[in-house]
Structure formats: structure tokens, C-alpha cells
């Protein structure tokens, strides 16, 4: 019975940074671990849970991503089309891209970075709370059979 409670405990133990100020490159660098933790929490926590905490986390992430020199997220039209009315999915894409770029600073391949952003969207979608989205369900199948990167490459080419 205790093990069943662990996922809930893990989700509620996360707290986004407060009182941050991004003025210098060092200000951004010191928050890199919190960026990774924020994305991890967002993708694992169902959309309907802890909406106030999610909003604070989104605000922190957006401000950090918008000014950090360590990451350079590029949003493409296909990502906006995928997200549709769920703006949270756009934040997840940006967070997934940023997390991957922080964890793999040598990564410059836009297909890989886009694919990681999409994978973060898919993990969050599977965690629950989003509207049914046939395209995300199809992309989940592509991810499990290893063809997601090929699909992303086609989106970027077209």
C-alpha cells in the first residue's frame, strides 16, 4: 500500500523556484538543475493536478528559456498545430528541448532536439488530463516503434 502512494508523494514534493532574477548569464546557469526538475515534474504530473503549481512552474520555465544563452528553442508551425488549443503542450515541448540541450550541450541536431521536445509532450499526454488528440496518439505509436525522428525530419523539411 505504501508503494501506491509514492507517485503522489513525488508529485507534491516538487516546488518551483521563487524569488529568481535573471540578469546575467550566471543567473541562468545556477537554475539549470531546477529547469530539469521542472520539466521532469511537468511531464509526469497529470494536467488536472496542482494547477497553481503548474502555472508557477510554467512561468519560471518560460522566463528561463526566453533569456538563457544555454538553450535556443525553435518553435515550428507543426508543433503549434500538434498542441492545438492546449498551450501547456507548447510549454512541454520547449521544456523538453531545453532539458535535452542542458543534458547534452553538444547536441545541435534540430531533428534530435525537436524529437526530444515531442517526446516530452507525449509523456505528459500519457500522464493524463489533456483532450483526446489523435495525432499525439499516433506519434506515441511512432515513438514506440522508432519512427518518430523520421516523422519529425519530414515536418522540418516541409
- What local confidence, expressed as pLDDT, does residue 153 receive? 97
Q: Label residue 29 by pLDDT band (50, 70, 90).
A: very high
Which sign, positive or negative, has the C-alpha torsion 147, 126, 137, 99?
Answer: negative
Q: Report helix, strand and coil shares of the chain as percent, to nearest 5.
A: 70, 0, 30
pLDDT for 115 beyond 60:
yes
Q: What percent of the chain has pLDDT over 70?
A: 92
Rounded to two decimals, what is the model's pTM? 0.90
Q: What is the pLDDT of residues 37-87, one digit of tens each?
A: 999 999 999 999 999 999 999 999 999 999 999 999 999 999 999 998 889
Length in residues, the chain:
158
**Domain ranges within the chain, ordered by starting residue:** 25-157
Q: Tell me the C-alpha distance between 12 and 68, whole Å.
A: 27
Q: What is the pLDDT of residues 84-108, one digit of tens each?
A: 888 999 999 999 999 999 999 999 9
Contact status, residue 120 vs residue 92, Cβ threshold 8 Å: yes
- What local confidence, expressed as pLDDT, does residue 13 receive? 84
Amino acid at each position: 500500500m505504501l508503494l501506491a502512494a509514492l507517485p503522489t508523494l513525488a508529485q507534491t514534493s516538487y516546488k518551483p523556484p521563487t524569488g529568481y532574477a535573471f540578469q546575467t548569464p550566471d543567473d541562468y546557469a545556477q537554475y539549470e538543475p531546477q529547469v530539469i526538475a521542472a520539466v521532469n515534474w511537468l511531464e509526469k504530473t497529470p494536467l488536472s493536478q496542482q494547477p497553481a503549481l503548474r502555472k508557477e512552474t510554467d512561468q519560471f520555465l518560460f522566463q528561463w528559456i526566453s533569456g538563457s544563452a544555454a538553450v535556443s528553442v525553435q518553435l515550428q508551425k507543426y508543433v503549434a498545430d500538434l498542441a492545438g488549443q492546449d498551450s501547456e503542450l507548447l510549454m512541454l515541448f520547449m521544456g523538453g528541448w531545453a532539458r535535452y540541450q542542458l543534458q547534452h550541450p553538444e547536441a545541435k541536431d534540430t531533428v534530435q532536439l525537436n524529437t526530444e521536445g515531442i517526446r516530452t509532450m507525449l509523456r505528459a499526454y500519457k500522464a493524463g488530463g489533456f483532450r483526446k488528440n489523435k495525432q499525439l496518439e499516433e506519434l506515441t505509436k511512432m515513438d514506440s516503434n522508432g519512427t518518430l525522428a523520421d516523422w519529425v525530419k519530414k515536418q522540418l523539411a516541409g
